[in-house]
Amino acid sequence: MIQTHHTSMFTYSRTQPKTSSTTSSPPTELSETNDTGYNTDSRCPSSSSKSSLQNDVAAAQADAHEAFKIIDRPQKETESEFDRIRNACPVLRSTACDEDFCQAGRMIKTKEPRVGQDRDASKIQEEASDFLQQLHRDGIIGTEEKLSARRDHALRELQQSSQLVQLSGRLPNEVEANSKGSPCNQSMLAGGVWWQEFEELEHGLRLAWQNSPKCIMRSESFSLQLCDLRHVTTSREMGSTLVDNMKKAYNNGTIAPTVCVFPARLPGQRGPMVWNGQLLSFAGYKDDDDTILGDPANVALTEAIIELGWQPPQLRTQWDLLPLVTMAEGDEPCITNISENDFPLVRIKHPDYELAFEKLGLRWVAAPALSQLGFDIGGVQYTATPFMGWFMDAEIGVRDLADSFRFNVLPKLVVALGWAEDESSFERAPEHERLAKLSKAQAELTYAVCHSYREAGVMMSDSLTASSMYCNFDDEHLREKGYRLPANPYWLAPPQGSIVPIWHRGGAPNYQPTPLICKHVQNPIKAWRREVQERSAQTSLQPRERHDSCWTDVSATGHAEANEQLRKEEPKSTVHIHYCTAANTARKLAGELHRRLSRTAGTTYHVQKPRTLNELRTNTLSRDDTVLIIASTTGHGEIPANGAKFAKDLQSSSDALVFNFMIFGNGSTLYHDTYNAAAKQIYDILQQNGARPLAGGLFEGDTAINDPPWERFERWVAEVERELCVSSETDRSRATPPETEMMTSSKFDIMAQYRPAKFMKCSGEKTSGILHVTLDVKDLHHDALSHVTIIPPNDEKDIKRALKVLRLSGCERLPDSVDMTTATFLRDFVDFDSPFTTLDWTDRLGLLASRKALFERLPLRDALQAMPRILTSSVFLRDVFAAMPLKVPRTYSTACCQDLLKSRGRGHQLELLVQSRHQGLMANFFKSASPGTALRIRHHESKWSALLEDGSRPVICFATGSGLAPIRSLLQHRLHLMREFYADNEEEVQPPGPITLILGFRPTDTNTIYSAIQEPIAAGVVDMCLLTPSNPAKVRAQDRIFEPGIREHMERKIGNEQASVLVCASSAAAEDFEANLNALIGCDVRTALDERYVKEVFLTRGAKPDLAV
């Protein structure tokens, strides 16, 4: 249920005005994050449209015009207001500004008040008396007699608890840099504590909120509720009671502003503390290459909590809630997990740009719960006082999600909304255009935040309402007391500028009454580490040596020497590993390269983790850096999509490159026209822009026989190690899979691997749909998720003409001991439509240059007819046959499981799903072939054995068109396992994991789709089937994972059940599905799942797909 009327709110604002979306103040170590809690009341605009916000602008501007009058008040009037403030607030604390410097805009001020420090007893007594006087003024203490008695009692308690302490004059390291303090050795009577009754403490907390110059929602200060936890003295109980009480305060989104107060700090102690700046915040995981997954503001905190013993989720995402770490006085810190079920994250959605925002996958915590700020009330310091309120829209939309040093989503949002082609082109746009688009994106994001929280039924305030509420409250305060509330306009005004009336209140006084809210003088993590070191030093039995009036641990000296030696051996330069591939082959090789170099070169170089070629930033590389690229070729010689943008940007760039590079091309000589074309293009672009190739720069691998080409890859890695001047012991057992074949890639060796097969039948929509093809492969073994390459036979007319020209009968055996006749070779392997691969063998014929040039262009059938009569010695024929072009085989995924077919007496059959295309070579062959027609076939073992071996793991399958083939084979494999499971009564056998199907298809293929899934669904193999035929609304199958119910199913499968993912689709659909999963889960799913993410991209016009695990 959506809450529409809210009566209470609490906030501590850090939203800073007058800052554009393109510039932000850098974060600091002690700065809070999300320390604003905002809400709305009945005056807040509705979330149904933007018109309600716009309708309030006129009224707000009228308020602003009235507020503007305070800016130019006469000096005498201003001075009288200051006098009234001094009279009403005799005890004022520093605002950190002086006559020389104003620190109003600083995140951390050098002289700002802090809890956690010992203070002079006389100052404490003065503040206690002043606070009791305020309680009397506000009716908490009724009479003068009660006030006098209460004051006497409080002062006696302070006197009894005060202690004589030795002052060093130094602050902790985290704040010492901002202080002018100098070391000294003085003693001081530090003020103690006095017990404050519940009503006194609660009123003091409310006054502290009202006195906070940075908070925009102080009109709700007297609705603050106190949760008194001063009896809690252990870290574990701190964590559990804090979570329980914050759940009550949250109340399923109907938030009651609540502060939990733990015991007060005693003199000489740090007091209880909470490590988290926010009780609800996201982890920040920093990778070896300095990339961050999650919230960059929480990297240090995340690392500290992991060091303390927290185990992050197995699947790390950018939306992982950090656990709570509490630290009572004198106790060890304790980790308390926070369940997302208790505080559900709010997904950021936009009513006008639904899909664009879904694809960004944005979300945020439900409420701000500040936990590192303390309260100073009547001289008593409360160092652990977490409090919960609610957000204001701009705090999330302008700061948390938009700041460049936080989640930095605005450039991505600009692209998602279609206002820029990609982030790179947006960065190159003129600044005025960037500003305009960033401003629009910021406004839409802020609106989406407010809309999402209200739709989720979670309290939130919009900036306009919050500003108006503050102005009204401030005016009432002025009328009642003759002076305005303390105000820091730099913090108070939301970033919308002059639209909101509070923007114009720059003339309001900035002062700091007591009680007050302030930071702790110590960082809790550093405080804990100091305590650990002190305890370790006190209990250590190791000998110590004395040097110049200070104690130095002998073991520490040894560590210092070791650290100095390590510094001398720091990596002198960086090795960057990048890859581009349509699937995973190049990525797999890049991973192996990183493993090898980390072992052999890790002490000499900083070896970066593999990344896509599009992620290579050439402007950050130095002259000593080396870039290693593994490039596959896709389509008809194109660079894969995850490297094409890099090449395009570099071609249009005029910047000179200074780094070294080497490239390994992952190609196949079967495609002689485009063999390693992508690697060659990248090589040329890099060299033309000034990059320096090492060892020739380009090393070409060949997958014609071995895929991946491990042997060639091994040679390249050895060459890389020689160039980097590092030694290596070849580990062939690890680098080369046991099944890899070691042989030369001559065409005759390739042909020997193709076995004869026969065409049986072809069904399906033969005009433009999917063809269901059945072949007779005899005893050829094939398994699910494997591939076959097929070569159709040539026309008999071409074969007879060629034999006639060559004066052969067709029964002759090919040279080089190949067990094949010339007629078989010409029928099954030769490409009569392509020219000779080389004409070197014609040198002995004495051909004219013009005639030789003609033969270089003519198709083989025509070239043979135009050749002169030649002698046909066996030696000469060998050269002729070796120069003949071979047919390019077509690669298809098997669409069946042989084990299941054997159980039905069809073990000799193999099934394929082939997309019928206009002028498609194989499609036309299958549609016109007669049963029994011979062809050649080669089987390739499945590279996805994990999906077959771990049959109990769930699988999410996404396919479009004929990409159904491998999924059909997997369905049959699981169906076979299901039947074996029911036939086997052993308890140890686990049932096969369910399969989730997400299929996009043309309506003409409906029968083919249903025939593939009907039996597995009936057998319980499939737990969800999502079918999306082509439709006028252009709803795509990959986008339906954002639908309610399906979203939760996908998150549960990947996050909780650790499902694998199988994708077989066009390149565009596969990339879009992957991007959608990333947004849904909150991480790079393909990298996180590793071998559990299987991707096969099929290409049009018969091009070979790049297949890999």
- Confidence band for 1007, pLDDT divided at 50, 70 and 90: very high
Span 763-780, pLDDT tens digits: 887 777 899 999 999 999
Structure confidence at residue 568 (pLDDT): 43
Same domain, 734 and 812: no
Q: Which of 838, 864, 886 is the last residue of a domain?
A: 886
- Confidence band for 76, pLDDT divided at 50, 70 and 90: low
CATH number reported for the structural domain that contains residue 594 in this entry: 3.40.50.360
Span 698-744, pLDDT tens digits: 998 887 767 778 888 988 998 888 888 875 544 433 333 333 333 33
Structure confidence at residue 313 (pLDDT): 94
Q: For the sheet with 934-940, list strands across it.
A: 890-893, 787-791, 934-940, 755-764, 770-776, 909-915
The mean per-residue pLDDT over the stretch 826-844 comes to 86
Structure confidence at residue 888 (pLDDT): 85
The answer to whether 883 and 836 have CB atoms below 8 angstroms apart is yes
Is position 1075 within any domain? yes
The mean per-residue pLDDT over the stretch 965-983 comes to 92
Q: Provide the 10 A C-beta neighbour count for residue 615.
A: 15
CATH number reported for the structural domain that contains residue 1089 in this entry: 3.40.50.80
Q: Which of 747, 782, 812 is the last residue of a domain?
A: 747
Q: Which of 867, 886, 905 is the last residue of a domain?
A: 886
The mean per-residue pLDDT over the stretch 375-397 comes to 96
- Confidence band for 7, pLDDT divided at 50, 70 and 90: very low
Give the CA angle between residues 531, 532, 537 to the nearest 5°.
Answer: 95
- Confidence band for 1050, pLDDT divided at 50, 70 and 90: very high
Same domain, 560 and 619: no
Higher pLDDT, 1099 or 469: 469
Q: Which phi and psi (to 5°) does residue 738 adopt?
A: -60, -30
Q: Which phi and psi (to 5°) does residue 631 adopt?
A: -120, 125
User: Nearest 10 degrees: CA dihedral of 493, 499, 501, 504?
Assistant: 70
Span 672-702, pLDDT tens digits: 778 889 999 999 999 989 999 998 889 988 8
Span 107-151, pLDDT tens digits: 778 888 999 999 999 999 999 999 999 999 999 999 999 999 999
Structure confidence at residue 69 (pLDDT): 46
The two tokens of residue 707 are 């895929």
Is position 545 within any domain? yes
Q: Which of 692, 706, 617 is CA-nearest to residue 659? A: 692
Expressed as residue numbers, the domain containing 575 is 571-747
Flag whether pLDDT at 42 surpasses 80: no
Is position 243 within any domain? no
Is position 867 within any domain? yes
Same domain, 674 and 718: yes
Flag whether pLDDT at 38 surpasses 80: no
* Cis status, amide bond into 708, omega within 30 of 0: yes
Burial environment of residue 236 by CB neighbours within 10 A (0 to 12, 13 to 18, 19 or more): middle
* Cis status, amide bond into 515, omega within 30 of 0: yes
CATH number reported for the structural domain that contains residue 861 in this entry: 1.20.990
Same domain, 882 and 908: no
Is position 462 within any domain? no
Same domain, 961 and 859: no
The mean per-residue pLDDT over the stretch 529-549 comes to 62
Same domain, 882 and 906: no
Same domain, 605 and 666: yes
Span 285-338, pLDDT tens digits: 998 778 899 999 999 999 999 999 999 999 999 999 999 999 999 999 999 999
Average pLDDT over the chain reads 83
Is position 979 within any domain? yes
Structure confidence at residue 602 (pLDDT): 76
Q: What span, in angstroms and rounded, lies between the C-alpha atoms of 1022 and 741?
A: 37
Length of the chain: 1109
Structure confidence at residue 166 (pLDDT): 78
Same domain, 856 and 802: yes
Angle between helices 585-600 and 710-723 (to 10 degrees): 40
Structure confidence at residue 168 (pLDDT): 59
Same domain, 882 and 895: no
Cβ neighbors of 718 (< 8 A, separation 6 or more) are 728, 730
Span 877-927, pLDDT tens digits: 778 888 888 888 888 999 999 999 999 999 999 999 998 877 788 889 999
Q: Provide the pairing of β-strand 626-632 with 660-667.
A: parallel
Structure confidence at residue 1106 (pLDDT): 38
* Cross-strand pairs, 164: 189
CA 1071, 1076, 1079, 1082 dihedral sign is: negative
Same domain, 966 and 1086: yes
Flag whether pLDDT at 1060 surpasses 50: yes
The mean per-residue pLDDT over the stretch 504-533 comes to 87
Q: What span, in angstroms and rounded, lies between the C-alpha atoms of 265 and 719?
A: 64
The mean per-residue pLDDT over the stretch 597-615 comes to 86
Is position 26 within any domain? no
Q: Provide the pairing of β-strand 460-461 with 391-392.
A: parallel
Flag whether pLDDT at 932 surpasses 50: yes
Is position 925 within any domain? yes
Structure confidence at residue 654 (pLDDT): 80
CA 67 to chain centre: 45
* Cis status, amide bond into 172, omega within 30 of 0: no
Q: What span, in angstroms and rounded, lies between the C-alpha atoms of 322 and 305?
A: 9
Q: Give 3-state DSSP helix, strand, coil % of the chain, rounded to 5.
A: 40, 20, 40
Structure confidence at residue 870 (pLDDT): 55
Please list, residue by residue across 989-1009, b when 16 or more beta carbons sit within 10 angstroms of its beta carbon and e when fewer do.
eeebbbbbbbbbbbebbeebb
The answer to whether 434 and 426 have CB atoms below 8 angstroms apart is yes
Q: For the sheet with 995-1001, list strands across it.
A: 1022-1029, 995-1001, 955-960, 1060-1065, 1093-1097, 1107-1108
Same domain, 998 and 914: yes
Q: Which of 1032, 1025, 1100, 1024 is CA-nearest to residue 1069? A: 1100
CA atoms within 13 A on the CB side of 457: 9
Burial environment of residue 919 by CB neighbours within 10 A (0 to 12, 13 to 18, 19 or more): exposed
The number of distinct structural domains making up the chain is: 4
The mean per-residue pLDDT over the stretch 343-352 comes to 97
Same domain, 581 and 611: yes
Q: Provide the 10 A C-beta neighbour count for residue 1011.
A: 13
The two tokens of residue 851 are 């005639």
With pLDDT > 90 as the criterion, what percentage of the chain qualifies? 53
Q: Provide the pairing of β-strand 273-274 with 363-364.
A: unpaired
Cβ neighbors of 637 (< 8 A, separation 6 or more) are 673, 674, 677, 678
Structure confidence at residue 1099 (pLDDT): 62
Structure confidence at residue 541 (pLDDT): 45
Q: Provide the 10 A C-beta neighbour count for residue 400.
A: 25
Flag whether pLDDT at 1013 surpasses 90: yes
Higher pLDDT, 1006 or 174: 1006
Q: Provide the 10 A C-beta neighbour count for residue 111.
A: 16
- Confidence band for 817, pLDDT divided at 50, 70 and 90: low
